[in-house]
Chains A and B, each alone.
Chain A
Amino acid sequence: MSILINKNTIAICQGMTGNMGKIYSRLSLNYNKNIIAGISPNKKIKIIRHIPIYQSIKKITANHKIDATLIFVPPYNCKRAILEAIKNKIKIIICITEGIPIRDMLEIKSALQLQNKSILIGPNTPGIITVNECLLGIMPPNIFTRGNIGIVSRSGTLIYEVAQLLTKANLGQSTCVGIGGDPIIGTNFNKIIQFFEKDQKTKIIILVGEIGGNLEEQLASHLEKHITSKPIIAYIAGENAPLKKQMGHAGAVAYNKNETAANKRKALKKAGCIIVKNIYDIPNKIEEIIIQKSNFDRTLKPPKR
């Protein structure tokens, strides 16, 4: 089965009745009907877009098995929402919200480390899409086409750019994951690469990194200890970013030379990744890899419902 989410995923949406949730939950709702309920402590709203609203996760998990939750809750209340999902052992927690205070993220990370049922994707992510099966997030659906290439990225808009580039070159995608653009996020590259490694539907992986933090270095040490059979093409954004300046979202700051794009490319190259400096070289690299593979499907037909 596909990584993290698929056509059988049963999801809820926290913050569905709020300003962000009201507008942006529509994309995920309409994609493949994976969301069966919303969560909102507001007692007045009982149903929105034909979806029932429960006041707490406990109330719905009593009668339904829930695999995932999509969170649109605003920053001031996000910690409470994520901790509630962890307490209720929801396996996949996807938090779209940008701007959660750092102190709250420290508490959330502390709670995540004490258990092994839930993983957090985000915050500050456009979510996850398994093409033609499940969308939990805000990615525009029509740029994706089904295939064998997995994408994992810190930047949201670069997922769109790479996916569109691949689709135009008649190369389809399996699952695309935004791990988030904040300085402290729930899941690093390592775990996602492990998932892709076990996923029969993914044959090539594209990794989009950027300046700041040490997630790329963490992946490099992981790859040196664990053999990954699938080729990883890595692109690191921010080669020309000045030091110590925040280039957009909060995670994109290179505080010293260790956190620059050049350094990350070096570490990933040493660990066996194929490095591209220009994002438009990605389809060419993939063509080179495909020539060596005998059973690679460029695009796949949508699965039968």
Chain B
Amino acid sequence: MNERPTFTNEELTAFLDGEIDESLAQEIADALENDAELSARLQGLQIDSEQIRSAFDDLLDEAPSAPSALENVRPPRSFSHALPWQALAATALLCLFVGGGIGYFISVSKQETWRDYAATYHALYVNRTLAQIDQNADEAAVQLADVSTALGKTIDPAALSQNDQLDYKRAQILGFEGRPLVQLAFLSKLGAPIALCIMRAYNAADSDVRVNEMRGMSAASWTTGEFDYLLIGGSDKALIEKAARALKTRL
């Protein structure tokens, strides 16, 4: 009679959270294949943490204003303006989206993830932001080559124009915490602005497409080959999911 190792709920929890060393993770994974009781126990511990995170994000809007002691704080020295913080952010934002093709380092809270940051700024996009853009194939190729160099990954123009639901418009290099954040902008058939944002993700494991909502827009996130992706815009979850899966294989 062989001894089956028993795993504690704590170990199973750490397993679910990816906080366990590889050998124990492998032991658990192997045990799960044959042990129905263990599988049931694991199921009894499963929650949707993304759902929790999303539900709690709504609470951020409920926060009162910061204490007055923190108001009128001198803005970061990288922009030597005398403007109050809100106007500064708006000015920087304007430069970011009107300038096109040039990266600006925007000083935002380091505590936001890059996707939160990208979603916040994409929420400002309207159809008109992109509708007038009409690049020919050569212009688009040159722009994409530039962007590919900055990102460290070749983006094939053909991969972007294959989707009949998304009309590719332009590419930009933005910045997040001093690292390049690439934004590829599209318009959907309904005219909704949609962005594919890409950042280098060192030592990150590949992940499947995960669809959720950010800033009131449909969004899909995934990681492939040490790059993090975010496809965001509009409110058609099915469209975003389908487009995300297609882009995941093509890029």
| Co-complex (A, B) | no
Chain B residues packing against A (C-beta within 8 Å): none
